[in-house]
Chains A and B, each alone.
Chain A
Amino acid sequence: MSTSDSEEDSYNERTALVASEIPSVPSYQQDPDQPQPADMEPRRRTVAPEPAAEPPSLDRSAVEREPVDLEEEEELPLKYGAKHVIMLFVPVTLCMVVVVATIKSVSFYTEKNGQQLIYTPFTEDTDTVGERLLNSVLNTIIMISVIVVMTIFLVVLYKYRCYKFIHGWLILSSLMMLFWFSFMYLGEVFKTYNLAMDYPTVAMIIWNFGVVGMICIHWKGPLQLQQAYLIAISALMALVFIKYLPEWSAWVILGAISVYDLVAVLCPKGPLRMLVETAQERNEPIFPALIYSSAMIWMVGMANPARHAEPTNQDTGSSDEEAHRSEGSALARDWVEPETQVSSGMNRSYSTEDDLDEEDRGVKLGLGDFIFYSVLVGKAAATGGDWNTTLACFVAILIVSVAVRKTKCWRRK
């Protein structure tokens, strides 16, 4: 077929470097022209969907969906796994960019005035290195125990169906994030750039920002706006952590949190695993609020009267943020597995959009993961003035997060 000289790759649609059409992704939005969240999507959608390109791929996927379950899944998961990974790269990158940009420009978040969170009571202004190390380890132990206690508390609440309590808790947290923390942030940005501002204007700005945020997160809203708010909230939380966690404690905590996440999710008696299993038994989604979703939101816009736990969205209040963070992250990681199961067509109880391909259900990532990664990169940016460190951390985080997710997927499978 090819007139080119190479045997190895004939130039066809697959191997073309400059891509041809890709079958368009049917989207949730009423307005089909609305750009998709990922950077790649707008480019795909600007190319008019081709009837010639579509049927072959749809036919192929239809044919492949037939009984032979094992073989068919290998190619598609690779492609859609890659697509999902990219759909996560973009928001994670955005969050990190916001955090790094703030750290580098607004000096408030790198000033240490001796204030610390109550969860890290031991100071790091000690005389010897050994004492400092000891203090940071103690801080870590306290922080992790707080997280564990909160997580168990949340699991207990969930088990005994205290949905109203959880709902209220989450609303309170997001209120604090959206109003107070963003007010502080705005104030610091104004101070940095020496912009004059009056209180009525600020009140108006913050009021609008906060209210729209609450609505988007806890109720219905455009997908992209919701994603933007989730990213903004994660960035704000990460900035708070970067400011108030002392240096060494921050790094030890980051390490300990990773270990805790792995343990809590993969261990049979882990609280997060119990939470996920309970939710699966009851056939309910778990706190979609704590989770960033890159595609169709299950609860948003879906009138689903059978549910008690209505959009218990968004979280990350400061006092319980650790609990939510860790749940969110672990939940989200756990959520990948139900996702892949769903996409194998085994359990379609959550699919409220049956017309979408399984692959387009999108992917979810816990907000805790956003915060975790952003704190890592932000700390790297704050600690050294060097941009190389920040860049290196960024690339390493992307690769390691992909590797961790893939490993977990395969282990579960």
Chain B
Amino acid sequence: MTASVFFGCTFIAFGPAIALFLFTIARDPLRVIFLIAGAFFWLCSLLLSSLVWFITVQISNKESSSQQKGLLIFGVVLSVLLQETCRFGYYKLLKKANEGLLMLSAEETMPISIRQLAYVSGLGFGFMSGAFSMVNILADSVGPGTIGIHGDSQHYFLSSAFMTMAIVLLHMFWGVVFFDSCEKQHWWSLAVVVISHLLVSCLTFQNPQYVGSLVPTYIIVFLLGLWAFFCSGGSLRNLKLCLTCKDKDFLLANHRPR
């Protein structure tokens, strides 16, 4: 336990996200700000859903376990819907801000495109969501103890870490697809995003049968990843060019004159 579990779980849960942050976001202050703003919007959605949750739990019957379970399901569904609503709100805000800036700016192009914003805001949502899921677990894992000593599953920390990684990546993909479908007014793909979010969250009700929740989740991650890739302009051709280092745009943009 302790240090190895702590570091292992941290890197599993946040490794991809931190790598993405370091390589693509950290250098550009504007992106960092939008990332943190995205995290803030996720926090707002959580605040709202936790308010509702708190009130309903207070007025509910604390003895009946079926009611509590029903309340939990209700809470999860509400939270997902509120998160997506906040994502939409953030999208609207960004659109307005971008338009305002474009009007005032002397440049013809915006300093940051809506696609980059989609990526950055999705990652912001993911960071915050993952942090909220994982941070207390990580803090506990540093201390002494045995997981599941009272008969619960021993894989709790590890599967939480994997779930968190999936959620972070998913939020990023959802962000990309969401903004893209808002731009193109494809409301059906918006609905698919919301439904997939609901699906992933509801899959977690199968815990502690972690296989039942993790495997479908990762399938969804993969599928959504593909969808986001194609949404943001990727294609097999692009991918091939990129991997064989023949992508002229990329090379030109990163051209280092000698």
Which A positions have Cβ atoms within 8 angstroms of B?
Answer: 2-6, 8-22, 39-40, 43-44, 50-53, 64, 71-72, 74-75, 78-79, 82-83, 85-86, 89, 386-388, 391-392, 395-396, 398-399, 402
Contact = CB atoms under 8 A, between A and B. Distances in A.
Interface residues of B, number: 46
B62 interface: no
Contact of B249 (A11, A72, A391): A11
B74 to A, nearest CB: 21
Contacts of B115: 6, 8-9
A12 B40 CA distance: 30
B77 interface: no
B21 to A, nearest CB: 11
B27 A19 contact: yes
A12 B256 contact: no
Interface in B2-58: 23-24, 26-30, 32-33, 36-37, 39-40, 43
28 contacts: A3-B247, A4-B238, A6-B115, A8-B233, A9-B116, A10-B249, A11-B250, A13-B253, A14-B111, A15-B116, A16-B250, A18-B24, A18-B254, A20-B255, A39-B26, A43-B26, A50-B256, A71-B106, A75-B106, A78-B30, A78-B105, A79-B29, A79-B30, A79-B111, A387-B139, A391-B128, A395-B36, A396-B43
B39 A395 contact: yes
Nearest to A44: B27
A82 B30 contact: yes
B109 interface: yes
Contact of A6 (B139, B233, B255): B233
B101 interface: yes
B254 A16 contact: yes
B65 interface: no
B40 A75 contact: no
A5 B115 CA distance: 14
Contacts of B106: 64, 71-72, 74-75
Contacts of A13: 253
B136 interface: yes
Given A74-B104, A395-B39, A19 B33 contact: no
A14 B109 contact: yes
Interface string B230-248: 0011010010000000011
Given A72-B106, A75-B111, A387-B136, A12 B249 contact: yes
Contact of B248 (A3, A72, A78, A386): A3
Contacts of A386: 136
B107 interface: yes
A22 B30 CA distance: 14
Contacts of A51: 257
Contact of B43 (A9, A15, A75, A395): A395
B188 to A, nearest CB: 21
Nearest to A15: B113
A6 B115 CA distance: 11
B248 A388 contact: no
A310 to B, nearest CB: 34
A7 to B, nearest CB: 9
A86 B136 contact: no
Contacts of B249: 2-4, 10-12
A75 B111 CA distance: 8
B35 to A, nearest CB: 10
B131 interface: yes
A399 B37 contact: yes
Contacts of B128: 391, 395
B135 A82 contact: no
B29 A17 contact: no
Closest 6 CB pairs of A and B: A6-B233, A52-B257, A86-B29, A11-B249, A82-B29, A9-B113
B81 interface: no
B253 A74 contact: no
B36 A399 contact: yes
A199 to B, nearest CB: 33
Contacts of B247: 3
Nearest to B24: A17
B29 A21 contact: no
A97 to B, nearest CB: 14
